[in-house]
Amino acid sequence: MDSVTVILLSVALAMDCFAISITNGIALKRIHLGTILKMAVLFGFFQSFMPLITWLLGECFKEEVEAWDHWIALVILVFLGGNMIKDVFSGEKEEETGQPAVDWKNLILLSIATSIDALATGFVFITETTETFIFALTMIGLASFMFSVAGNVLGVCAGKHLPINMKLIGGLVLIGIGVKIFLEHTGFLSNFF
């Protein structure tokens, strides 16, 4: 696999991180560097760690991973998105504290859920050289980190100008990403496009 293909794959894998980071940035309402970096590091780490797992396991568990990865992503993202939507309708007034839309536990769950696609890509590199695989892991982690930072900053800037409840939108985005992953992996979308 050539370098351009690896970089394009890395950017593609980072898109879910980017979308969720925009949502988090909107909820932050101001630049909070510690929170943004924490999210970016976790996304970058899990996006590059997941392919390592499947690459090390090789062909042994390929079918098992492919059979369940989309279900795991769907359940986690619908659960987190549903919680965000529930918070909107619970009647609690949200203060502009600059705190993340999700706590540590949920941030780790988000990192795992968004890296489910990356888990499957480890199988793509089984036949590649170790050097190519290490380059791919580095690019995947860096792309996810950079797109997460950019998404958070973009979300903060956009959130100041949007009069609608962005936590509701964020919950719907998470559910949408979970459904998209599920439909892609089950082949449902390919029947229509």
- As a whole number of angstroms, the longest Cα–Cα distance in the chain is 55
Which stretches does DSSP call E strand in the chain? none
Identify the residue with better confidence: 51 or 187: 51
pLDDT for the residue numbered 95: 46
91 and 164 Cβ atoms separated by less than 8 Å: no
Provide the total of helices (H) and of strands (E) in the chain, helices listed first. Answer: 7, 0
107-118 in b/e form (b: 16+ CB < 10 A) is: bebbbbbbbbbb
* Helix, coil or strand: residue 173: helix
The upper half-sphere exposure of residue 13, i.e. CA atoms within 13 Å in the direction of its Cβ, equals: 36
pLDDT digit string (tens) for 103-142? 778 888 888 888 877 877 777 777 778 899 999 999 999 9
Overall pTM > 0.75: no
Check residue 93 and report its DSSP letter: P
Altogether, the residues listed in the chain come to a count of 193
pLDDT on residue 67: 74
Is the confidence at residue 98, as pLDDT, over 50? Answer: no
Q: How confident is the model at residue 45 (pLDDT cuts 50, 70, 90)?
A: very high
